[in-house]
Amino acid sequence: MHTPATNSIGKHNNVRKANRGNNEELAKLLRNDISGTTIIDQSVESIGFSNNSVSEYPDNIYPEPAFRESVEDATQRRLLNRHVQFIAISGVIGTALFVAIGKPLYRGGPGSLLLAFILWCVPILCITVSTAEMVCFLPISSPFLRLANKCVDNSMAMMASWNFWVLECVQIPLEIVSVNTIIQYWTDNYSPAFPLLIQVLLYLLISFCAVKYYGELEFWLASFKIILAIGLFCFTFFTILGANPKHDRYGFRNFSESPFKTYFPNGNTSSGDMYGYFHGFANCLIQASFTMAGGEYISMLAGEVKLPREVLPKAFKQVFYRLTIIFIGSCICVGLICSPNDKNLTASINEARPGAGSSPYVIAMNNLGIRIVPDIVNGGLITAAFSAGNAYTYCSSRTLYGMALDGYAPKIFTTCTKNGVPLYAVGVSLLWAVLSLLQLNSNSAIVLNWLINLVTASQLINFVNLCIIYLFFRKAYLLQKDSLPELPFKSWGQPFTAYFGLFSALIMTFVQGYTVFYSNLWTFRDFLFCYFMVFLDIGLYIYCKIFQGPDEFKSPENVDFATDLKEIEAHELNNSFDDFKHFHA
């Protein structure tokens, strides 16, 4: 935790000497800075004391922290367990789960789609538990990115930070374009710049609210997504049993029609069915690698969670299970309600039909003669896309804030409002929204595909980075564990779990854009969107390693965990949580 204070260090020393037995006076002095302004929730916590009488502790128990010059340099710990879980879910569930899932269904069939998502759950689980172990241990702002600086080297920290920031920022215009394609389900008689402007302004207004209000809003927006998913699950269950206007009890008819389909990306069918089935499955697996995320969204909340070492371990477990159920459940549902050979699905993919028009759910509703509900689903999809973009705005701004704290971005991005909002970081992250203007000169569905390719590569690289950072963290922790508190979250099978996640993500990083190498499909533009981030990240790492001065790998014995852990522990003790009390025993 990064605790601000506007008072000088000398003033705090005087407070400690003069008020050793008087908590009320101590808190009063600490809450007021030189100009008389108020610092909320920064009483005794700002110098490391709990709410108990200060006289309980010797002078050397709570060391003086490095005070910042202004209160406007830190976020605030206000998020509760329900906020964390729903914001994390919101950042993962977007239109891809309800709309883009139709493309792999069409190309690979429901069997390949379901198998691919189940298979990709395994590396995602490995990456998630590895991330959870290190983030729950050191829940600071941008935790895994700053652990790269602590445990690996500066070049890795720089590369991982910029890659993750780009990953989050690119998804802002992705969701803005998604909203536009959804609106086009009703009409396209408007300028795409209009919804862009409205969304950016709303994201800006929401981001400038105190984090607890942002958490509440995102809690309800994420709730709508979950309600939408549950509603579509119920729709599937009842309609396959015959509860539809046609009274058609179709059961598993659509699923069994073509469970595995052949797909030839270059149009050459002479290579045989086996290659066709492989390409169909590969397309489904690539979609799964884009749609399913690990624990990075929970991680970015770590610096603003009220009781991080109590809340985060639960959140990592619960969010993974809930998302897995939603993802696998969605694959089963679209396979049951919509045939991969459906003429409307085929037309929507080949013609890049906008919005909900390409959603297997909406296609099924239209096939069954169901009215009004498709429009309700379309409205729900707008909420889902808007909420996801809002979550990406939050994560990207906090990433940039964490980068600035470690010196990988200009220090101005550490500036926060009195509500703990990183003002300039939010503004710069939202500038990426202008990428959505690409749709003014191209079909919005085509632009959406470009952005998906860019995001997929960046996300897979981030998975690789997470596993590498964890392996270095684990080595440092094991060497120092006798002098450190126990792990709040313990993963299993390490380090093999992390290695499996690492190699799975690494392989998929190069596989995800393989179709661009077919001679009749080659375009430099498509190649750039698929692999640009790979070359950029490798180049950035090499540049930093060679030209940014000596950058040796950090010695695991000398990694400093204690400084941040003492601040976190002091904050938790101040909020009556002492399960991991170690330094202040």
CB burial of 497-521 (b: ≥16 within 10 Å; e: otherwise) equals bbebbbebbbebbeebbebbeeeee
Q: Are 264 and 279 in contact (CB under 8 A)?
A: yes
Q: pLDDT at position 353, please?
A: 59
Residue 90: pLDDT band (50, 70, 90) is low
Helices (H), 512-548: 524-547
Residue 11: inside a domain: no
Q: pLDDT at position 76, please?
A: 66
Residue 428: inside a domain: yes
- Give the C-alpha separation, 180 to 436, whole Å: 10
Residues spanned by the domain of 382: 99-555
Residue 48: inside a domain: no
Q: List residues bridging with 79 in a β-sheet.
A: 305
Handedness of CA 288, 402, 563, 568 (dihedral sign): negative
Q: How far is CA 155 from CA 125, 168, 402, 481, in A?
A: 27, 20, 16, 26
Residue 354: inside a domain: yes
Residue 349 has pLDDT above 50, yes or no: yes
Q: pLDDT at position 52, please?
A: 39
Helix, strand, or coil here: 192? coil
Residue 97 has pLDDT above 90, yes or no: no
Q: pLDDT at position 445, please?
A: 60
Q: pLDDT at position 352, please?
A: 62
- Give the C-alpha separation, 327 to 331, whole Å: 6
Residue 558 has pLDDT above 70, yes or no: yes
Closest CA to 446 of 236, 57, 181: 181
CATH number at residue 400: 1.20.1740.10
Instruction: Give 512-552 pLDDT, tens digit per residue.
Output: 889 999 888 898 888 988 898 899 999 999 998 888 777 88
Which residues does 260 contact at the CB level (< 8 Å), separation at least 6?
108, 109, 111, 112, 277, 280, 281
Q: pLDDT at position 134, please?
A: 93
Residue 514: inside a domain: yes
Count of beta carbons in the 10 Å neighbourhood of residue 524: 8
Residue 24: inside a domain: no
49-69 mean pLDDT: 37
Residue 51: inside a domain: no
Query: Would you give the DSSP letter of residue 77?
Result: -
Q: pLDDT at position 549, please?
A: 72
DSSP string covering 51-111: SS-GGGS-TTTSPPP---S-STT-----B-HHHHHHHHHHHH-SGGGTTTTHHHHHHHHHH
- Report the chain's mean pLDDT, rounded to a whole number: 80
pTM: 0.80
Residue 42: pLDDT band (50, 70, 90) is very low
Instruction: Give 288-300 pLDDT, tens digit per residue.
Output: 988 887 677 788 7
Degrees, nearest 5: CA angle 457-184-297: 35
Residue 154: inside a domain: yes
Q: pLDDT at position 266, please?
A: 85
Instruction: Give 203-229 pLDDT, tens digit per residue.
Output: 888 887 766 677 777 778 878 888 888
- The number of folded domains in the chain is 1
